[in-house]
Amino acid sequence: MLRGAAAALFACVSIGFAGAAPVAADPGVAPAADGPTESVADAGAPPPVDDGRVASTAPVTTKSPDGWALTVSAHDETERPVPSLTNEAATREYIVGGTFNGSVHAPAGAGLPQGTFEVGYQIACAANLDTAPPAMLSGNIGVDPGAGQGNLAPGTVTNVPVAKKQFKGSDPWVMISEFSINIDGGVHTLTEQEDACLGQAFIRSYATLTASTDVSNVSQSYYGTTKVI
């Protein structure tokens, strides 16, 4: 949406005995240069393969006026880019994973905490190209639908929920493993409009913890490191 070369160098060592004639240097071999030299294999080595590991951002905490304390954190996050099944230049695909933890501390006498814990990903393109003909603004303003022109639009951010858990207790958590996320240039059937993802694409995780009572809701959101491809 990578090759290397390797070379092997062979050295010949001569062992002399007392009385033996000195061995002449091979005139076809240049003397070794002083100091370190760059390996041929290192010079042609491919860049390291992206294993998808993403550093999680720091835990986040909020406290409500009535004594609730909510904390959200994550670890072992991965966002690995892979070739898309459609092999489209305007399509990006990631295999994602991670463990997301919530912590709810209730004030004294509040009872067992309960609420929701939602985990997902935010995806975006730097720009979108709408290849459908633009709508006519009036009887004499517009673009000929047959002209094949496209409209360049600012990129938009889309939330992709993966899991939303109802919980009762103090420490809800969600684990995601090998989940596929696509940033697609596809056809919207109702409008017959086709969008293409142009330039860089962006992805980051999010997790929103909400604690509920009969009279209030308190929420705290976590946002992971943004990855660019």
The letter for the amino acid at 90 is A
Whether the predicted pLDDT of 141 surpasses 60: no
What residue ranges in the chain does DSSP mark as E strands? 53-54, 60-63, 69-82, 92-105, 114-130, 151-154, 157-168, 173-183, 187-188, 193-212, 217-223, 227-228
pLDDT in tens, 109-129: 888 899 999 999 998 887 766
pTM of the predicted structure, to 2 decimals: 0.68
Please give the pLDDT value at position 98.
98
Q: Residue ranges of the domains in the chain?
A: 50-228
The answer to whether residues 119 and 97 touch, using CB atoms and an 8 Å cutoff, is no
Q: What are the pLDDT digits (tens) for 1-38?
A: 333 433 333 333 333 334 444 445 455 555 555 555 55
Task: Tell me what pLDDT residue 150 has.
Answer: 57
> What pLDDT digit, counting tens, does each position of 92-105 carry?
889 999 999 999 99
The structural architecture, per CATH, of the domain 50-228 is Sandwich (2.60)
